Structure 1
Amino acid sequence: MVFCFLCKSFFKDLKSLKSHFNFSHSEHEFLNYKCNEDGCKRSFSSFNSFRRHIQKEHISLVQNHPNCIDDIESEPNDFIKIYPKRIIEQFNMATVSKTPPVNESLSIFIASLYGNVLLPRNVVQKVIEGLKEFFSTLGPAINNTVNAICQEYSLSNDISKVLVETLVPTIISPLESFMTEQKRISFYSKKKTYIAPQGIVIGQRFDHVKRNGISRMEVIDCQEHFIPLRNILQTFFSLENVLAETLEYMDSLKDKNVMENFIQGSYWKNRVLHHSNRIVLPLFIYFDDYEIGNVLGSHAGVHKLGAVYVSIPCLSPWRSSVLSNIFLILLFHSSDRVSFGNNIIFKPVIDDFNFLSEEGIQIDVPTFKGTLYFELGLILGDNLGIHSMIGFVESFSANFSCRVCKVTKADLKEQLYENTALLRTTDSYEGDLALNNLSLTGIKERCVFLGIKGFDLFQQVGADVMHDVLEGVAKYILSFMLNKYTQNSKFFTLAIFNDKLLAFEYGPDSKNKPCSIEKEHLKRGNIRLSSGEMLTLLRFLGLLIGDFIPRDDDYWALYTNLRKILDILLSVRISPGTDNLLQVLIAELNELYIKLTKDSLKPKFHNLLHYHTALKKYGPLSSFWSMRFEAKHRQSKMSARSSCNQINVTWSLAMKHQLSLNEMFLRGKLCNILEVGPKKIVPLPETKILQSLLQLDPKKTLIRVNWATMSSILYKKGSILVKSLNSDRYLYNFFLLEKIYLYNCDCLIFEGMLLQTLCFDDHYYAYEVEVPSLTNQVTMLLESFLSPIPNTLNTLPNGRQYVILRSPL
């Protein structure tokens, strides 16, 4: 006789106990199997190890027992009083409250198929038909299996018949409710998890239409597809813990001396003063055009689409960057915006924002019952997207190309500081509109978003570090420097540089490893790297070529100055006075660029002059750059390629996006904060040491894992974390991760060694460290580290080791 350590039920043998685990405790994720026989306290990672232990140490216990529920020898048909009813109820899942109904599980499975951007919708139909065909063949197999079980336990034929009649319909009948796409969409719509795109006619045009084999010109409707934002937000904030988590995060930002979020900036603080006791959340609008076909093919531009996304900046940082939490609200053909104008295209967006501001949405969750209001925070996009959206000139060689100030084209080329006398204001804007002269004002048309109540054109347009720096200023500077070093100074060759690019260890940045640079591109001053690759190159350029460059080289100052600016722009915490420092650094960079290159400044250098003001008004600039929004484009591009059907493509892609969102809404919660790799049992002596060291509760679980992901950040052996500030407060104490523990299923514990920080090397723009001769082991909770962002340890050919911060502090 053996018994279950979870429910204390007795069983006649180990085979029955194993079946019991699989059947009655399938929802329990076993970390180990515990032996409680005769006071034994041992535990095992697998059932096989547990079985061998029982057979060796407690063999006398494996025998019949009067309380054993598997003891049916005296009256075989008494089994129906104990197990058959439970078996029937378990298989007939709709009657068991602890197990989700079959149609609910099936609906989530189908939603996950729809949510996969690589699967066209017609493939989902084939999967459902295949499942039905497969399950229809299970009837005979189920009948034979049940008969064999009943014969083994000497059960009557009536029991066998009941089991078969219960099993077969339970498996097959739920599929009937999902056999067609119309039934599936109807099911999701009734549950209010699928929010269908609305087709809106925005105009008409002549086009070729083929009817009865005859092609003719007819008038057809042009449509855009709009997804009501109010419905999305209402469902999103009704998900489990989303609103509570958001309000808790917003409350944690109050009275902080550093800025970490948009709501701490001067603009939003002034804006919320107009809402007395209302709970008001900010929203960002992002607009951009993107090509879903081959940008170099013969049909390039034909299927160029315009997309409007909305994000919620007051979510916790890692939530706001998750692509599923960025919502598509409008999709249209870019040519239609040119033909019919911004007023027609963006009207449904403006109406929805006015509704959210004045009426709000009703939320009824355990932590909140009432009305949530929303206000437009910022309009975002690349420079071309923003200018086309708000009605400014779309040529950056125009006489007045800046949307923030009225600097002339000639002055822009040499300006080092922002001229406050030239800043655009609402009054000057109205005057420029009345003048109606593009060449004298830089204004093409009245901004359509002035239709949003309370909108201020010169307070609510953001900046974009991605396009201004990574795809602008950085490319100009690095092209000039690499040309100088490889062609003039000849410190190294381009071939050597490319070899070092390929061989270098980038650690967590390996996904954005820079590719080789072509000589022709370099001569033209156009380094062809993506934004992510350029960011990686900027981070590690000091370690890549710093040992070739003399420490007194004048041109190297361009790089170090740019790195200082980038550290501020990418920092997630902005201290008081940082805006003034940024202004000075940008002025020095522009002056140095003019002096060394003998060239004039480009428009993107001028855009940086306004960054210190944006930093003060909006908080960290990295929280609203284009990087994550452009990653959102990729989902539609992949869906378009997998579909291979360009007919009414805006409807297809908008529907596909909403079906992806439907999967998240159907599950009722956002993605998990914590994920871990393979688990291992921690030896008892090691467990006791950790419990004593960190004052852990011995009743809570403690296991070791190979890797862990917390808030989308991956931790593994060899990661470098910032433990704390050094005693002189100018250096950091770095921690080399060696072991990862999972405590109580929701907390990470790291064990590793402290590195000795020697200095910050300005030339390499990295911290020089060394592994101490005496091992300095440290065990800490993840939340105790100064920064949760992992870095990497790089060793140069001279043997010196360096750490570069991926997230400036």
Structure 2
Amino acid sequence: MAYTCFKCKQLIPGPPKNLITHLRNVHAYTNGPGFQYICCQEGCQRTFHQVWSFIRHLSNVHPYNVNDVVPADNVDNDAGLDLPDHINDDVEMNDVPPPVPERNLDDDELKRLAMDFVCQLKQMNCLSLSAMNRIIQCSSQMFGDIITHLKATTMRTLNHLNVDMNHDEIVSLQSDFDRLSTPFAGLETDLTQKQFLEDSGMYIAPVSVPLGVKFVPTVDPKTGDLHQTQKTATAQYISVKSTLKLVVEQPGVIEMMMNYRTQNDGVLRDFHDGEYYRRHRLLNNEDVITIPLLLYFDECETVNPLGSKRTVHKCGFFYYTLKNIEPKLSCSNANCFLMAVSKTSDISEYGYAAVLAPAIADLKELETTGFHIDTDVFTGTVKAVVAQVTGDNLGLNSLFGFTESFRANYSCRICKVHRDDMISQVEDKPDLYRTREMYEADLAQHDVTLTGIKSPCALNDLSEFHVTSNFVVDIMHDLLEGVCSLEVKLILNGLIQSNVLTIDELNAQIKSFNYGFCDSHNKPTTNTITELSLRNPDGASGQSASQMWCLVRYLPLMIGHMVDENNEYWQLLIVLLKCMDIIFSPTVTLGEKFYLKELIRDHHNYFLALFPHRHLKPKHHFMVHYPMVIRKIGPLVHFWTMRFEGKHNFFKRIAHVTCNFKNIPKTMALRHQTDLSCRLYAHSVLKPKVLEIGTGSSHILATLDNAELIATSFANMPLYGELYLANWIEMQGTNYRPGMTLIIGRSDNDLFLFGLIVNILVDDNQDAKFYLRRWKTIGFDEHFHAYEVEEGPDVSILNCDDLLDSIYF
């Protein structure tokens, strides 16, 4: 049996290892990020990211038949050795691949292969540095023992065959054995590994930023006495300029930035479509490439938040992403870069200005002079500016110098509305927006009770940024962990008190509801939904943000059949869901923006009328600014903190594994930069995810239903051609499989059109299409807040790249 190479379509006889050797030697394939292996044996189009998974698939699904005989016509014996005649006799040999260009394993290539292995280890945040070094040492010893044994066996065999042991080729062979027996020479320690990455230009070392001097109690290891020792408090900073230069010079990145443009069709899709970008002096200047940066700040507990060391090792993290690339790339945790990290206690003591001092200097230079890049498609200067800063409300108010108490007189950072007016405000008041002039005047008063401003913001030193032009709101904390948590409790408690349903019926509906593939991991927990918790709506909901989002969206389908259409509590829930439909949408039209303003006003009025003993919370107030914010910076979902908080998991895992808290900010920064350098070394930063194809089976096109329609969609493929029917595919992190329902368009009366995935078709070129049975949209049911559909007779073929939205049901 011969295996087909998916790159050059050449037949490679022998077991799977011969195909892997061919891919490595001819096509420079390695087991690293960015490399995808495609089966293409017997019509199979399964894809893999790990070489051992690929080999296992070939061995189990397309096994090599050892009885297949391949003539040894292509065996190359040009070594020039004087072998006995019987060694050159014509024989039938198995497992002989066709000749491939010889791979030159010189010292540099050997070190590169060893570094690939090291990088794979360093990207695993479940390993400590000592564990990595132990693995490298054991692997080096194992390789040495194996190569030494092979050398001895080979030399003994050649000597037995009376080969001249002083022949130049034999001497060279012995030298190769000795050299290959120590593949990790020069890479044995973390220091030498970092030095290799630095020499390759891919490692950016964090810089310690001195903040101040303090005295800490230390124990003398000899006497056990306690002494007060002077210690310099430091933060860690990673150069934004150096990071951006390396990232932008990665293959394909600058082309992606240059090709990402706005669409003037009245639809807001991203930051580029907002007024802020269009009116920005540098961002909207086509004569210079300017990267808009989205900064993020949040505090993260690196140890058990309920343990005795809570708050002791709490750190403040500053991240940033690039906003001139597609949102599906910028939202990835792997493409979120660390700018600075410091202990929270040091930030409180020394202030943000001290922590961010080197960052401010770097950002000023990026605004004015930028940095020079030299790529195949562009050579010149690239600039960068801080476009917006995101974070939770407490974090942003702290960073910007506003009051951190949301019971204060003026707690809103967007407008200057008094607390007495905020608790009943139902619509936006533009005349109260904070402006630069108002900010400077308020700052000069030095009275937080009259202004809401405690101190100046260090970021205001930048010429292209000011806190009054930062419009970001955090819909995750405002809604999913704020308004939704409060109102769902009030609504459910109202329904229970009205004898519409009982708590047991509610929990039974939540447990038995079919959440489908998309929300199977976000099922709400019923452990915290009790009569006692519902009577305390101001307490924590006990649900994560994703669980709350799932609960709110599916609640009408869970209990809607038990509630009367005119129920006043139910009407509040429906209005809230209408608001969330627009707020969480990845695209927003101008008409929807104006409609959202009316919905938020109606929602707030309804809430105050339904619960007259309550007032609007600060997070209710932030909602009234949403339509204006959408107009300024685009859809809100592209700025929420959900993805940034996912980045914290990397550092929490590192803290748990290393258990090194002597200088926790430095530990975090070093491990993050090592991981980033490994990804830069593998050219996997800002690289779009390729289509991943799962298990399936190959079929002749003529045997499929509507074969002619399918053939037309695949550029008139002949009916005797083969198609692969995949059980699942994954695009940009979203998994699709038959049985799911997709949004495929809009009708003339602006209703969504849906299609049920019957099959997922893949051809030999990895072109994937959905074979859909179209649902007939009857209408939208307000009471259940869902579309009513019925199965129709029509089928259609949809290219995977033409999906209107990645949402599925």
Pairwise CA RMSD? 3.7
Q: Is the 8 A contact 2:213 2:232 kept in 1?
A: yes
1:559 is aligned with what amino acid?
Answer: L
2-side partners of 1:63 and 1:225: how far apart?
Answer: 61
1:565 is aligned with what amino acid?
Answer: C
1:221 is aligned with what amino acid?
Answer: T
Q: How does 1:544-559 map to 2 (within 5 A)?
A: 544-559=558-573
How far 1:427 moved relative to its partner? Answer: 1.5
Identical positions, percent: 27
Residue in structure 2 matched with residue 572 of structure 1 by the alignment: 586
SS at match of 2:203: coil
Q: Kindly indicate whether residue 390 of structure 2 is the aligned counterpart of residue 387 of structure 1.
A: no
Q: Kindly indicate whether residue 291 of structure 2 is the aligned counterpart of residue 281 of structure 1.
A: yes
How far 1:559 moved relative to its partner? Answer: 0.9
1:475 is aligned with what amino acid?
Answer: S
SS at match of 2:182: helix
Distance 1:156 1:63, change over 3 A: farther
Q: Is the 8 A contact 1:150 1:160 kept in 2?
A: no
Residue in structure 1 matched with residue 783 of structure 2 by the alignment: 763
Q: Is the 8 A contact 1:521 1:528 kept in 2?
A: no
Residue in structure 2 matched with residue 582 of structure 1 by the alignment: 596
2:746 to 717, 725, 743: 725
1:306 is aligned with what amino acid?
Answer: G
2:609 is aligned with what amino acid?
Answer: K
How far 1:714 moved relative to its partner? Answer: 1.2
2:411 is aligned with what amino acid?
Answer: S
Residue in structure 1 matched with residue 729 of structure 2 by the alignment: 708
Distance 1:645 1:8, change over 3 A: closer
1-side partners of 2:134 and 2:783: how far apart?
Answer: 60
Cα displacement string for residues 541-574 of structure 1 (whole angstroms, at most 9, x for unaligned residues) = 1111111111111111111111111111111112
Residue in structure 1 matched with residue 46 of structure 2 by the alignment: none
2-side partners of 1:29 and 1:156: how far apart?
Answer: 45
Provide structure 1 residue ranges, at least 5 long, that are not aligned to the other structure. Answer: 35-43, 56-61, 793-809
Residue in structure 1 matched with residue 553 of structure 2 by the alignment: 539
Q: How does 1:256-271 map to 2 (within 5 A)?
A: 256-271=265-280
Q: Is the 8 A contact 2:300 2:314 kept in 1?
A: yes
Q: How does 1:768-783 map to 2 (within 5 A)?
A: 768-772=788-792, 774=793, 776-783=794-801
Residue in structure 1 matched with residue 808 of structure 2 by the alignment: 791
Distance 1:171 1:755, change over 3 A: farther
Q: How does 1:404-443 map to 2 (within 5 A)?
A: 404-443=414-453
SS at match of 1:754: strand
1:323 to 311, 318, 333: 333
Q: How does 1:679-758 map to 2 (within 5 A)?
A: 680-683=697-700, 685-686=702-703, 689=708, 690-695=710-715, 702-726=723-747, 728-758=748-778
Q: How many residues are paired up?
A: 762
1-side partners of 2:158 and 2:455: how far apart?
Answer: 81
Distance 1:463 1:21, change over 3 A: closer
Residue in structure 2 matched with residue 676 of structure 1 by the alignment: 693
1-side partners of 2:341 and 2:804: how far apart?
Answer: 42
Q: Is the 8 A contact 2:522 2:546 kept in 1?
A: yes
Cα displacement string for residues 32-51 of structure 1 (whole angstroms, at most 9, x for unaligned residues) = 269xxxxxxxxx99899798
- Of 138-147 and 331-340, deviating more is 138-147
Distance 1:345 1:751, change over 3 A: same
Distance 1:466 1:2, change over 3 A: closer
Q: Kindly indicate whether residue 468 of structure 2 is the aligned counterpart of residue 454 of structure 1.
A: no
1:225 is aligned with what amino acid?
Answer: Q
Cα displacement string for residues 498-537 of structure 1 (whole angstroms, at most 9, x for unaligned residues) = 2222222223122222111332332211322111111111
Residue in structure 2 matched with residue 192 of structure 1 by the alignment: 201
Distance 1:54 1:264, change over 3 A: same
Q: Is the 8 A contact 1:701 1:745 kept in 2?
A: no
Distance 1:91 1:730, change over 3 A: closer
Provide structure 2 residue ranges, at least 5 long, that are not aligned to the other structure. Answer: 28-36, 44-56
Residue in structure 1 matched with residue 51 of structure 2 by the alignment: none
Q: Is the 8 A contact 1:416 1:590 kept in 2?
A: yes
1-side partners of 2:103 and 2:795: how far apart?
Answer: 52
How far 1:77 moved relative to its partner? Answer: 4.8
Q: Is the 8 A contact 1:33 1:50 kept in 2?
A: no
SS at match of 1:101: helix
Q: How does 1:148-167 map to 2 (within 5 A)?
A: 161=170, 165=174
Distance 1:257 1:2, change over 3 A: closer
Residue in structure 1 matched with residue 135 of structure 2 by the alignment: 127
Q: Kindly indicate whether residue 669 of structure 2 is the aligned counterpart of residue 654 of structure 1.
A: yes
1-side partners of 2:61 and 2:625: how far apart?
Answer: 67
Distance 1:686 1:171, change over 3 A: farther
Residue in structure 2 matched with residue 227 of structure 1 by the alignment: 238
- Of 399-408 and 612-621, deviating more is 399-408
2-side partners of 1:389 and 1:676: how far apart?
Answer: 44
Q: Is the 8 A contact 1:574 1:620 kept in 2?
A: yes
1:621 is aligned with what amino acid?
Answer: L
How far 1:342 moved relative to its partner? Answer: 2.2
Q: Is the 8 A contact 1:398 1:442 kept in 2?
A: yes
1-side partners of 2:636 and 2:350: how far apart?
Answer: 33
Q: Is the 8 A contact 2:292 2:386 kept in 1?
A: yes
Residue in structure 2 matched with residue 299 of structure 1 by the alignment: 309
1-side partners of 2:672 and 2:205: how far apart?
Answer: 10
Q: Kindly indicate whether residue 119 of structure 2 is the aligned counterpart of residue 111 of structure 1.
A: yes
How far 1:202 moved relative to its partner? Answer: 0.7
2-side partners of 1:604 and 1:557: how far apart?
Answer: 20
Residue in structure 2 matched with residue 641 of structure 1 by the alignment: 656
2-side partners of 1:368 and 1:66: how far apart?
Answer: 49
SS at match of 1:176: coil
Give TM-score scaled by structure 2 length: 0.86
2-side partners of 1:8 and 1:549: how far apart?
Answer: 62
How far 1:679 moved relative to its partner? Answer: 5.2
1-side partners of 2:579 and 2:19: how far apart?
Answer: 59
1:629 to 636, 644, 648: 644
How far 1:729 moved relative to its partner? Answer: 3.0
- Of 506-515 and 231-240, deviating more is 506-515
2-side partners of 1:749 and 1:661: how far apart?
Answer: 35
- Of 181-190 and 295-304, deviating more is 295-304
Residue in structure 2 matched with residue 372 of structure 1 by the alignment: 382
Q: Is the 8 A contact 2:145 2:181 kept in 1?
A: no
Distance 1:51 1:317, change over 3 A: closer
Distance 1:288 1:4, change over 3 A: closer
How far 1:785 moved relative to its partner? Answer: 3.4
Residue in structure 1 matched with residue 253 of structure 2 by the alignment: 242
2-side partners of 1:20 and 1:153: how far apart?
Answer: 28
How far 1:172 moved relative to its partner? Answer: 2.7
1-side partners of 2:98 and 2:178: how far apart?
Answer: 17
Q: Kindly indicate whether residue 681 of structure 2 is the aligned counterpart of residue 666 of structure 1.
A: yes
- Of 516-525 and 293-302, deviating more is 516-525
1-side partners of 2:16 and 2:160: how far apart?
Answer: 17
1:177 to 178, 186, 203: 186
Distance 1:521 1:428, change over 3 A: same
Q: Is the 8 A contact 2:40 2:764 kept in 1?
A: no
Distance 1:426 1:75, change over 3 A: same
Residue in structure 2 matched with residue 497 of structure 1 by the alignment: 506
Q: How does 1:12-23 map to 2 (within 5 A)?
A: 21=19, 23=21
1:130 is aligned with what amino acid?
Answer: C
How far 1:305 moved relative to its partner? Answer: 0.7
